[in-house]
Homo-oligomer: A and B are copies of this chain.
Amino acid sequence: MSNKPSSKTSATPSKPTDFEEALEKYREHLKRKRLLFTRERIAILEEVMARHDHFSVEELHDSLKAAGKKVSRATLYRNLDSLKEAGILAEVDLGNRHVQYEHVLGHGHHFHLVCEDDGAVVEDSSAEIEKLLEALARKHNLDLTHFKLQIFGTRRRK
């Protein structure tokens, strides 16, 4: 698919980067939904995958501008949903009263711990919890697709 020189030999399609994986995933999603594969959508995807933090729409728009890619705010907003539906982008609630995002690929299910003293955010994951959540979903006759979990706490005094 990609002809970018990713390693010395091109014999085996050596492990694709997260971006390449996302690109392929997005391309398929767009095709399935009969949406066009436009340069703007690719630019947005690139920036989403380039950022490894939590970002607002405004910050993403700034990133794009900084990278020399002109994508209007309207187009940005219009395409966030398809990125979410494609399983590439996820909303994050950090309790700070504005929507933030993070990319999903290369991360897998995880959740956020937020320190209420200073707003610091850490990520973590737990197979044990996931297993419990799946059981809970099943109990209510659901197949778990995803979950959102935020743990809020104050700094522990020893």
B155 pairs with A142, CB closer than 8 A: yes
Query: A116: which of B138, B145, B150, B153 is its contact (CB, 8 Å)?
Result: B145
Kindly report how many copies of this chain are found in the complex they form together: 2
Of A133, A136, A143, the most chain B CB neighbours within 10 A belong to: A136
Band of interface residues on A: 20 to 34
Q: Which residues of B contact A152 (CB under 8 A)?
A: 144-148
Q: How far is the CA of A122 from the CA of B138 in the complex (A)?
A: 13
Query: A113: which of B115, B128, B132, B140 is its contact (CB, 8 Å)?
Result: B140
The majority secondary structure among interface residues of chain A is strand
Q: How far is the CA of A128 from the CA of B131 in the complex (A)?
A: 12
Residue A129 lies at the interface, judged by CB distance under 8 Å to chain B: yes
A151 pairs with B124, CB closer than 8 A: no
